[in-house]
Amino acid sequence: MQELEKIWMNGELVPWKEAKIHVLTHALHYGTAVFEGIRCYKTNTGPAVFRLKDHLKRLYDSAHIVRMTIPYPPEELEKGVIDIIKANGVEECYIRPIVFRGYGEMGVDPSSCGVDCVIAVWCWGAYMGEKGIKEGVRAKISSYTRTYINSGSPRAKSSANYLNSSLAKIEAKDLGYDEAILLDINGFISEGSGENVFYVKDGVIFTPHPYSILLGITRDTVIKIARKLGMEVKETLCTRDDLYLADEAFFTGTAAEITPIAEVDGRKIGTGKRGEITHLLQEVFFRVVRGEEPDYESWLTKLR
């Protein structure tokens, strides 16, 4: 990992190497943490954080679901994000706020452990490579089922949910694929290990309904951009056959941005290359995040 200068830790900017926690931190043992992933992009008027308020809203919602109280108001975390980007002097970065049960008593019950809060930033290029963004990635339907709505709360971006993602990702990579697509407990498509899934059929855009997925902010961004371009978007039940027979498919996520899916389980999707609608959505998306689409300016928090 390429280290930067500082990390925001419980309200202080501490040197990168000193941002440490105790080995008996509750979250390390029991996954009692919620986090966010946000990107800051370079624009003509300096760095700008994309949909910061929406990401922080989801962080507080995740904490609410897992019964943690974040010991700061949202304005303070917003300021923390801006301060930590400035302190590291970067123009573009990935931002990772994490809120977790700290050092106290051991045991599953977290109630005697305080809640700690950290915001780190680092430079993160294309999640599945530049080639993936241009040519698409190869995906595999996972043998792992997405965390069930009554066991892991997929709506919360909680660390505990990511063991499910991690197992699916390892399996997919072991089998020579780039990414996993997980089905929900009823066998319908839910999402990738760290992305939402979309496909295009006969000019209509489809994406799984919100029940078993993390409600991605990039997902919402793409839905809004597509509708504004006059395209039809349906949030519905999607099956693996729908995906196999789609004309185009793509992943969305803060880290993954918009990554085309070229192949699923050895079946080419459409031409097996980046589709036209996917390409158009990518072009508009990258203009939006770089501040080149005035209609979407309100999504940017400018640092200068």
Q: Which is nearer to ligand PPE, 56 or 113 (CB)?
A: 56
Shortest Å, Cβ 181 to ligand PPE: 11
Position 164 contacts ligand PPE (CB under 6 A): no
**In the annotation, is 224 catalytic?**
no
Position 43 contacts ligand PPE (CB under 6 A): no
Answer yes or no: are the C-beta atoms of 207 and 198 closer than 8 Å.
yes
- Which of 25, 43, 207, 254 is close enough to bind ligand PPE by CB under 6 A? 254
Take residue 237 and report the two structure tokens written for it.
């039940």
> Reduced to 3 states, what is the DSSP secondary structure of residue 251?
strand
Kindly report the CA angle at 258 between 90 and 261, in degrees rounded to 5? Answer: 140
Burial 275-293 (b: 16+ CB within 10 A, else e): bebbbebbebbeebbbbeb
Position 178 contacts ligand PPE (CB under 6 A): no
Shortest Å, Cβ 299 to ligand PPE: 13
Strands 33-35 and 6-9 turn out to be: unpaired
Position 142 contacts ligand PPE (CB under 6 A): no
Shortest Å, Cβ 103 to ligand PPE: 24
Phi, psi torsion values for 106, nearest 5 degrees: -85, 165
Q: Which is nearer to ligand PPE, 113 or 158 (CB)?
A: 158
Q: Which is nearer to ligand PPE, 113 or 181 (CB)?
A: 181
Shortest Å, Cβ 168 to ligand PPE: 10
Position 196 contacts ligand PPE (CB under 6 A): yes
Task: Find the farthest-apart pair of alpha carbons in the chain and give their distance in angstroms, rounded.
Answer: 57
Position 97 contacts ligand PPE (CB under 6 A): no
Phi, psi torsion values for 272, nearest 5 degrees: 80, 10
Shortest Å, Cβ 253 to ligand PPE: 4
Position 218 contacts ligand PPE (CB under 6 A): yes
Q: Is 203 exposed, middle or buried (0-12, 13-18, 19+ CB in 10 A)?
A: exposed
Position 253 contacts ligand PPE (CB under 6 A): yes
C-alpha 10 chain-centroid distance: 23
Q: Which is nearer to ligand PPE, 80 or 194 (CB)?
A: 194
Structural element, H or E, at residue 70: none
Position 37 contacts ligand PPE (CB under 6 A): yes
Q: Active site residue: 157, 228, 273, 302, which one?
A: 157
| Site residue total, ligand PPE (CB under 6 A) | 16
Closest CA to 181 of 159, 205, 199: 199
Q: Which is nearer to ligand PPE, 18 or 130 (CB)?
A: 130
Q: Which is nearer to ligand PPE, 135 or 220 (CB)?
A: 220
C-alpha 96 chain-centroid distance: 10
Q: What is d(CA 293, CA 104) in angstroms, rounded to the nearest whole number? A: 48
- Residues in touch with ligand PPE (CB under 6 A): 37, 165, 191, 194-196, 214, 216-219, 252-256
